[in-house]
Chain A
Amino acid sequence: MGTPDHAPGARVEFRGVGVRYGDAAAPAVAGVDLAIAAGTFSVLLGPSGCGKSSLLRTINRLVEPTSGTVLIDGVDVRDSDPTTLRRAIGYAIQAVGLFPHYSVARNIAVVPGLLGWDRARIDARVDELLGLMKLEPARYRDRLPRALSGGEAQRVGVARALAAEPRVLLMDEPFAAVDAIVRASLQDEIARVHRELHTTIVFVTHDVDEALRLADRVVVMNAGRVVQDAPPAELLAAPADDFVRSLVGVDAETRQLTLERPLIER
């Protein structure tokens, strides 16, 4: 499969990014400097409230930083109108948020429709994406979201996020609400999609195993700061501090062994 004409992923860079909500005592994100290389799969990992979702949402301006700058391929995101920017960035969330009164096909076609693609191109793209997400187009195209299982809905959510060939895909705990078996297969799918498309993926999770399984780089966050930014193996072998050590936990050695086995073909 694969789309040879697909635009490669973009580079995402945070420079001194801080986010403070209203008059909260502590900032949600505090001075994050981070570079995400084009085409990589980066996972923002940390406990709830560590600022990982806020940081993710500064990329498509759902959250505006109170300090610092976010750049995509060197261009400040504030140079783009927020809706224009968002149409060029994929967005998939835990609750999926499929529009309940739209069919699967219409849900996937939302962004291409906003971008003014013609009917034939949209239809072809919808079928291509359903195929990519292992959902038989003839069976799923006309279904309403309520007729989908949790895992199927999430696949459609990912297809919708990928519809307009974004160069960056943001995923906020996308698989947290499905059971372990479905989650594992969704993780396999997104890893495969990443290998095929080379879209830059920024993925938020609190699940250490998920992070280690999917990431090229794991960005561990705590209390609004990045505490370590490293490939999975390095994170396990050389945790930066006690927080990271306790996060990867006593199972670190087992996890390391798992990583060394060719379980994940990357």
Chain B
Amino acid sequence: MSYLLAHGDRVAGLFGQHVALVAASLAIALAIALPLGIAASRRPRAGAVILGIAGALYTIPSLALLALLVTLLGLGPVTAVVALVVYAQMVLIRGVVAGLRGVDPALVDAARGLGLTAPQALLRVELPAALPVVLGGVRVATVTLVALATVAAWINAGGLGVLLFEGILTQNDDKIVAGSLAAAALAIVADLALRAGERAVRR
């Protein structure tokens, strides 16, 4: 705990970087996963392909993916964000697909029968009904990204992983504890906040 107390500013700065890495990755990942998930839920065959690719990417070890991306994009946070976006896809797309497939068919029938267009039915009825499940995917993805983002320090992308790597290199256990505690706290807070969000939309 002594490092955390003595170098609170530095830990806070790295914490901020960590949050920024995760938030940016999550925003970009959602912007990709939402349309892909909608497409996958509409067309089972395309859905199998999309989920298959996302699943295959998910199985690549994180260090291997980062190393591969560094050869293409160089060191730095952009490369880390790309890797995190790739990892988030499977969980997010699955959440969107499961959410939309779980919508009561009677709701969709009523929406179409009343004269909503397909996009209106999707936006006004299906996505709101799918929201709790979609948010569940966002929550799991967030916690995963908080953990994965520690590895980003390895390619000069900053974040709490910096403390872990420094601690290992200099055999400074205090640094490792400080980094671990901060990352765990972030994961727990994000998890709790998103759980509250899920409950709120489930009502």
Contacts and interface: CB of A to CB of B under 8 A. Distances in A.
Interface string B89-124: 000000000000000101101111111110010001
A110 B129 contact: no
Contacts of B57: none
A62 B109 contact: yes
B197 interface: no
A60 B113 CA distance: 7
Contacts, number: 63
B112 A99 contact: no
Contacts of A84: 115
Interface residues of A, number: 27
A225 interface: no
A83 B112 CA distance: 8
A96 B110 contact: yes
B202 to A, nearest CB: 10
B106 A110 contact: no
A167 interface: no
B112 A93 contact: no
Contact of A83 (B106, B117, B124, B125): B117
B121 to A, nearest CB: 10
A114 interface: yes
B77 interface: no
A87 interface: yes
A114 B111 contact: no
A97 B115 contact: no
B107 A97 contact: yes
Contact of A86 (B104, B115, B129): B115
Interface string B48-69: 0000000000000000000000
A36 interface: no
Contacts of A62: 109, 112-113
B128 A93 contact: no
A91 interface: yes
Contacts of B128: 99, 101
Interface in A69-115: 83-88, 91, 93-101, 110-111, 114
A52 interface: no
Contact of A93 (B110, B116, B117, B203): B110
B106 A114 contact: no
B114 A93 contact: no
Contact of B107 (A83, A99, A144): A99
A11 interface: no
Given A91-B110, A93-B106, A97-B109, A114 B125 contact: no
A93 B113 contact: yes
Interface string A143-161: 0101000000000010011
B124 A87 contact: no
Interface in A222-262: none
Given A62-B109, A100-B129, A101-B128, A95 B116 contact: no
Top 4 A-B residue pairs of the complex, sorted by shortest distance between their CB atoms: A97-B110, A95-B106, A87-B115, A86-B115
Interface of A: 60, 62, 83-88, 91, 93-101, 110-111, 114, 144, 146, 157, 160-161, 170
Given A98-B110, A101-B128, A101-B129, 5 more contacts: A86-B115, A99-B125, A99-B128, A100-B107, A114-B120
Interface of B: 104, 106-107, 109-117, 120, 124-125, 128-129, 203
16 contacts: A62-B109, A83-B116, A83-B117, A87-B114, A91-B110, A93-B106, A94-B106, A99-B107, A99-B124, A100-B107, A110-B116, A111-B114, A111-B115, A114-B115, A144-B203, A157-B110
